[in-house]
Amino acid sequence: MNIGEAAKKSGLSAKMIRYYESIGLLAPAGRSASGYRHYSEQDLHRLAFIRRARDFGFSLEEVGRLLALWQDHGRASADVKALTGQHIAELERKIAELTALRDTLQELHDHCQGDHRPDCPILRDLESGSCCH
């Protein structure tokens, strides 16, 4: 199938497919006599794997490592579990950071009178440049 069909079936854009190919996550596609890329069902399966891993928030580097583990039938599941555990720890760190940001912004929001006066604790905080309370 051509790149348009592969994009439609994989749910990825043609631009993303070409990008994954350019960084080595997807092997270079075969070409027709006229130079058009052709993708196989195996390519679609690999694109689905990449898309699902990206949906879980894995970085491109992590996706590459997961693909290598997926292709290695002699792999130890402990290697996959370790990589996933590291990713979960990073997600937890990001969640904690976002929670702290939300809580700080909520506090500022709660202290804003929201009336006709110009005084605004939200803008005062942004002006101060401080990152945390």
Query: Quick one: tokens of 33?
Result: 């006599």
Confidence of residue 113 (pLDDT cuts 50, 70, 90): confident
Looking at residue 64, its pLDDT comes to 97
Is 70 domain-assigned?
A: no
40 and 1 housed in the same domain: yes
Domain residues for the domain of 131 are 76-133
What is the mean predicted confidence (pLDDT) over 80-92? 97
Is 66 domain-assigned?
A: no
Does residue 129 register a pLDDT over 70? yes
Is 67 domain-assigned?
A: no
19 and 51 housed in the same domain: yes
50 and 85 housed in the same domain: no
Share of the chain above pLDDT 90, in %: 76
| DSSP three-state, residue 115 | coil
Does residue 131 register a pLDDT over 90? no
What is the mean predicted confidence (pLDDT) over 52-57? 97
83 and 55 housed in the same domain: no
Is 71 domain-assigned?
A: no
Instruction: DSSP for 45-110, please give it.
Output: HHHHHHHHHHHTT--HHHHHHHHHHHH-TT--HHHHHHHHHHHHHHHHHHHHHHHHHHHHHHHHHH
54 and 15 housed in the same domain: yes
41 and 80 housed in the same domain: no
55 and 93 housed in the same domain: no
Looking at residue 130, its pLDDT comes to 67
35 and 82 housed in the same domain: no
| End-to-end C-alpha distance for the chain, whole angstroms | 55
CB 9 within 8 A of CB 17: no
The number of distinct structural domains making up the chain is 2
What is the mean predicted confidence (pLDDT) over 82-104? 97
